[in-house]
């Protein structure tokens, strides 16, 4: 569907928010659902709930970290942790993913830290 972009129509975002939006998209996309890139996303959605907090927790964290490293190259030194949050209508799984890393903006190294609610 063709569309026309007018100057000032789309708001420009800063680098931190752009990285945050990108990670949110990675975390919310199940691998294999995008026909143009079947590897995009993370396998968080293919895990059992018990995997998130039991034996395989470190595997899940590593898998999410690998997906972020692969699909968000602006972020480096990435660490991922899973956190329990109070479940409710907006957060039925009661899971959050905390992502910490670094990125460069021009010549400055900056810290990225964001928590993403899953579910």
Locate the domains of the chain by residue range. Answer: 15-118
Q: What is the pTM of this model?
A: 0.80
Cα(46)–Cα(73) distance, rounded to whole angstroms? Answer: 24
Tell the residue number behind the tokens 């109070």, with chain if given. Answer: 86
Q: What is the CATH number of domain 15-118?
A: 3.10.450.40
Q: Bin 8: left if φ > 0, else alpha if -120 < ψ < 50, else beta.
A: left
* Higher pLDDT among residues 54 and 113, named by residue: 113
Q: Compute the distance between CA of residue 65 and CA of residue 57 in angstroms, rounded to an integer.
A: 12
Residue 87 DSSP one-character state: -
Q: What does the pLDDT look like over 12-47, one tens digit per residue?
A: 789 999 999 999 999 999 888 888 898 999 887 777
* pLDDT greater than 60 at residue 51: no
Please report the pLDDT score of residue 45 as a whole number. Answer: 76
Q: What pLDDT, on the 0 to 100 scale, is given for residue 12? A: 74
Mean of pLDDT over the chain: 83
Mind listing the pLDDT tens digit for each residue in 72-92? 999 999 999 988 776 555 555
């Amino acid at each position: 569907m063709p569309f026309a972009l007018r100057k000032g129509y789309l708001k420009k975002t800063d680098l931190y928010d752009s990285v945050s939006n990108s990670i949110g998209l990675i975390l919310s996309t199940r691998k294999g659902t995008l026909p143009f890139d079947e590897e995009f996303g993370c396998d968080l959605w293919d895990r059992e709930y018990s995997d998130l907090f039991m034996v395989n927790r470190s595997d899940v964290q590593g898998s999410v970290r690998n997906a972020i490293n692969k699909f968000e190259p602006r972020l480096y030194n990435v660490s991922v942790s899973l956190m329990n949050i109070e479940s409710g209508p907006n957060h039925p799984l009661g899971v959050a993913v905390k992502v910490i890393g670094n990125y460069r903006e021009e010549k400055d190294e900056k810290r990225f830290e964001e928590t993403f609610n899953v579910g």
